[in-house]
Structure 1
């Protein structure tokens, strides 16, 4: 197996290759405005680092968010294109699950949560029992509205660091404390679930809220006479 992982749901544009046992290569660049420019070069770099070609890839896994519309669509569209061009399966995994996987936390460490920046002064977040076991569904909320639920709980991700008064258990950045999505962790989680016989999700976006662009209401229709 040679699994190509992609994620563009956070400001990190990240790609990785996994052979079913370990991460062979990974690449990340943090730039919230250049997902479309940075993703394919990242794929080229991980393939070169692993000494592989694109046609050696046997499956693709992509982070499905939640995340801002534009960045998220870059990864999903690219994954779908690879799947069609190479005639290989494309799987989807929640980006928050990939972040949780990167923490390496065990059940003995206790519950924790992951939060990413949702903009509009909101966060995307999810609670976990350990690095591979989510508790409940992903959500999007204003930090002040969830203070009672997240206070004192170990928290990872850029969303937690943006609102330290609410996420007072935010874990400082460092080894085992991810801030943005990492495709290597996403690939490792996907490989683990596939090896266990679990079905991965479809590569469909997890938005959690309506996009900013909407059809205007009560607009005047002008038709030629």
Structure 2
């Protein structure tokens, strides 16, 4: 069983079977209450799935792009759960879940897509996915009017943890390894306007 957690937007938690069946999901859209809801959300999905912590074999965690405050809550919870159960911690770009969900809903679209989420400061975090692709590369910060119009634009305000796990299962099936264990913060604390976003190793 996979426990998936993402706090890059709201708080999203899910339990997914190794065969790709979504057994339980919990979503809170409030972006200011991650710490208050993460624990109850994990307990809820385990209960709804009819399993205990001992049945989880992998913990899949969304690594952003997102804010420092939001991401650290989900990542800390995921790391703690994985450590306590001695199971693998799988870091995944949050935008990959959005791309995976969109492509499942639009199976006839094989072209490239641009996934965006709110980056605040009147900017968007954008990840480009090539034709048929759902594996994320580097993201960039762009103004809303700078999103390329020649590529299908997928704007999202939430990340489905279930699709984060499903995207990881797809990677496994294709022999694609997990990304490096690095947090994709929108901006470094001392970033200047226009600075290039950085991956931050933890």
Check if 1:199 corresponds to 2:177.
yes
Larger Rg: 1
Deviation at 1:102, TM superposition (A): 0.8
Cα shift readout 1:126-148 (whole Å, capped 9, x = no counterpart): 122236244x521112234x24x
Q: How does 1:119-138 map to 2 (within 5 A)?
A: 119-128=120-129, 129-130=131-132, 132-134=134-136, 136-138=137-139
| 1:68-118 Cα deviation digits (max 9, x unpaired) | 110011111111111111111101000011111111244744221110001
Deviations 1:121-177 (A, max 9, x none): 11111122236244x521112234x24xx224322234xxxxxxxxxxxxxxxxxxx
- SS of the residue aligned with 1:92? strand
SS at match of 1:88: coil
Instruction: Please tell me the root mean square deviation across aligned C-alpha atoms, in Å.
Output: 2.1
Write the distance in 1 (CA, Å) between the matches of 2:176 and 2:115.
23
1:112 aligns with: 113
Corresponding position of 2:16: 18
Indicate whether 1:7 and 2:9 are aligned.
Answer: no
- Paired residues, number: 188
Mean alpha-carbon deviation: is it higher for 44-53 or for 199-208?
199-208
SS at match of 2:183: coil
Query: Deviating runs (4+, > 3 A) in structure 1?
Result: 105-109
Alignment partners' CA distance in 2, 1:28 and 1:212 = 31
Matched residue, 1:164: none
Q: Which residue of 1 aligns with 2:74?
A: 75
Using the TM superposition, give the Cα deviation of residue 43 of structure 1 relative to its aligned residue in structure 2, in angstroms: 0.9
Note the C-alpha offset of 1:196: 3.0
Instruction: Kindly indicate whether residue 31 of structure 2 is the aligned counterpart of residue 29 of structure 1.
Output: no
Spell out, residue by residue over 1:7-66, the C-alpha distance to the aligned partner (whole angstroms, 9 max, x if none).
0011x2100111112111111110010011111111111111110001211110100001
